[in-house]
Amino acid sequence: MGKRAFGIFLGFLPYIILLLSVFIALNESDFDTERALLGNAGQIIDRISNFYTIDFSGDSFKITGIDITQESVKIILEINSPFDFPVIIKDMSAELSDGSTSVKVELLEEVKLRPGESKTVELVGSGLEEGFSFRSDVSVQNFRIVLEMLGITLDVKS
């Protein structure tokens, strides 16, 4: 009888260890399941959710110059970081269209911004189509920016 009871106990041992592990994790986090499962990730998610309330239409991006040649177009931007933590702009690109033709411009190298810092960057495009002109009705399409902040990479497309 003792061997059989010991065999049953050994069969249930993995389940007992699993349940104890879950109980200990929940107990350490005051039975807050989000904190038990995510740890500090909950705080990071809260900080990133503030990203969506930041207004990028104001002083975050400002075009300070445009250089057009037959072979290329260069847009010079001043970027002001609205964040209170460091951000790396890994990639940025957009298509500029005047209605009939378009050109794609992109960031050539990543940009590191400290909290509240401003930097001048260049978006460069090649293969300028014949007849493309920068008029007031140029539209921006397929805008993409890849940000790394707080250890998380955020890829935003529009």
Is the CB of residue 42 less than 8 Å from the CB of residue 152? no
Average pLDDT, stretch 127-155?
A: 76
Place of tokens 């014949």: 130
The per-residue pLDDT for 112 is 93
> pLDDT tens digits for 68-109?
777 788 888 888 887 788 889 999 998 877 777 778 889 999
Q: What is the pLDDT of residues 105-129, one digit of tens each?
A: 899 999 999 988 889 999 898 866 6
Only one residue has tokens 């200990």, namely 24
pTM of the model: 0.59
Per-residue model confidence as pLDDT tens digits over 30-71: 777 766 666 666 566 666 565 554 445 456 778 788 787 777
Domains of the chain with bracketed CATH? 2-39 (no CATH), 58-157 (2.60.40)
